[in-house]
Amino acid sequence: MLEAKNLYSYYGKSPVLQDISFLLEKGQLLTVLGRNGVGKTTLMRSFMGLTDRLDGSLTIEGTEIARMRTPDRAMLGIGYIPQGRHIIPRLTVRENIIMGTYARRDGKRGMPDLVFELFPILRDFLDRRGGDLSGGQQQQLAIARALAMDPKILILDEPTEGIQPNIVKQIHDIIVRLNRELGLTVILVEQNVPFAREVSDRFLVIDKGRVVIAGAGADLTDDIAERYLTF
C-alpha cells in the first residue's frame, strides 16, 4: 500500500529525516513513536509533500509520489490530519467538511453518512463556525473533513494531544473502528504506548531523524518505551 525506501526529507539544506524505509500493507495500522523533535511530524509532512525536498522513493500502490505535488497526493487517496488540527476557523462545520470532498476521486460533494455516524454532534453544529468549537470537537471535525475525501490511507499526527480524556477515548475507539471494521489503512503518531501496542500491526520508533527500532505492535516493549520515549 505504502512503501518508503531510503527516504531523506529536508528543510532547507538540512536533512531532518535520513534513510527511512518501511512497508505498510493495505489495511494495516502503523504507529510512529519517538520523543518530541525527533522527526515524527516531518515524516507525516513528507508523505504529503510539505517539506522543502524529498529524496529516495515513496510509493502508494506502486505509484511513485516522492516528487508529486501535494494536491495530487491527496487525489490518490491520502487523508492527513495534522498536529494542531488546522480546521478553518471562519468556515462553518459544513464548509470545513465539504472542503474535504474536493479531493475525492469520484467528484461527489455531499457529506458522507459515515461522518455523522462517527461524530453525531457535528450534525448539530453544521452552521457553527469551526473556530467556535472546543478542542475535542475541532479534532472530530478535522477527522470528519479527512474522511469526506474517501481516503485510502489516513494519517493522524497526535490526534489526542491536548484533548479532554473522554474525547481521547472516543477518538481512539474511532481510529480502531476505521482500521479494523472498515479496513482503512492508518498511520498514527501516538505517545500512548499501551494503546499503540494494542492496536498497531507495525510500529516505528524515530530518534534523531532515523528509524532506530521497527517491528510488530506486540513487540513494542516497556524497555523500548523507556529507552526511546522517556525524557
Rg for the chain (alpha carbons), in Å?
Answer: 17
Is 178 among the domain residues? Answer: no
Domains identified in the chain, total number:
1
pLDDT tens-digit map of 2-27 = 999 999 999 999 999 999 999 999 99
Give the DSSP letter string of 20-61. Answer: EEEEE-TT-EEEEE--TTSSHHHHHHHHTT-SSEEEEEEEET
Mean pLDDT over all residues of the chain?
93
Cell of 151: 481516503
pTM, two decimal places: 0.92
Is 192 among the domain residues? Answer: no
**Do 77 and 33 touch, CB atoms closer than 8 A?**
no
**Do 28 and 36 touch, CB atoms closer than 8 A?**
no
What is Dmax (Cα atoms) for the chain? 48
Determine the structural domain holding residue 132 and report its residue range.
Answer: 88-151
pLDDT tens-digit map of 75-94 = 999 999 998 878 999 999 99
Is 34 among the domain residues? Answer: no
Is 110 among the domain residues? Answer: yes
Is 24 among the domain residues? Answer: no
**Do 124 and 132 touch, CB atoms closer than 8 A?**
no
